[in-house]
Chains A and B, each alone.
Chain A
Amino acid sequence: EPEVTQTPSHQVTQMGQEVILRCVPISNHLYFYWYRQILGQKVEFLVSFYNNEISEKSEIFDDQFSVERPDGSNFTLKIRSTKLEDSAMYFCASRGNGEQFFGPGTRLTVL
């Protein structure tokens, strides 16, 4: 069964450093999403991406965040200068015509 994959599973970084979280969506899907979940809190929408551009973003997705689909398979989330409060699980999701399929997440720890 096709699935969304994410790498790395755990990323530790120093405050102020740039991180890139990677996702491989399901191959024939056209809609892509990033969500995050701070420990103990609910899953929050960050951004949706369709047709090589951002279709919607939340207030959380400020200028420090960017997304890219650099080739036909990867979908990345970049945080330019990480802050302590960026520590969270980051989930990628993709969608065809119906439901969203989520990846297993990347746990980002900012020290």
Chain B
Amino acid sequence: DAKTTQPPSMDCAEGRAANLPCNHSTISGNEYVYWYRQIHSQGPQYIIHGLKNNETNEMASLIITEDRKSSTLILPHATLRDTAVYYCIVRDDKIIFGKGTRLHILP
């Protein structure tokens, strides 16, 4: 399985865009990039996924570099409810959760 690297924590001011990076330099050609988050002790929540094109849905945007070795999750207008641990995953059969990025939204 491809490994991912994420910063352990980030801060973002409420109302601003939160940009969460992820490195996945060993990703193979047919592996998708998935993002999930876990708010406190709730069940993990799917956010978005992509293969090589940029994607956008009602929650977020996903920017994948042309070489697919890294990606950025963008929450366009962060709110306090976006405070969570965000996980970048490159396989979505069994999910192996790393440490993720703990995002703090500052009021």
A interface residue numbers (CB < 8 A to B)? 4, 31, 33, 35, 37, 42-45, 48, 56, 58, 89, 91, 93, 95, 98-105
Question: In this complex, what residue of B is CB-closest to A55?
Answer: B93
Residues of B in contact, count (CB < 8 Å): 19
**Chain B interface, DSSP helix/strand/loop, else mixed:** loop
Please name all residues of chain B whose beta carbon is closer than 8 Å to the beta carbon of A93 when the two chains form the complex: 43-44, 95
**A102–B49 CB distance below 8 A:** no
Tell me whether chain A's interface is mostly helix, strand or loop, or mixed: strand
B49 interface neighbour in A58, A91, A99, A105, Cβ under 8 Å:
A99
Contact of A98 among B41, B45, B49 (CB under 8 A): B49
Q: Are B92 and A95 in contact (CB under 8 A)?
A: yes
Given A33-B94, A56-B94, answer yes or no on A91-B44 (Cβ-Cβ < 8 Å).
yes
Q: Which residue of B lies closest to A56 (CB)?
A: B94
- B42 and A104 form a contact (CB under 8 A): yes
Minimum CB–CB distance for A42 against chain B, Å: 5
Q: Which 7 A-B pairs have the closest CB atoms?
A: A102-B43, A99-B46, A43-B97, A45-B94, A102-B44, A42-B97, A91-B43
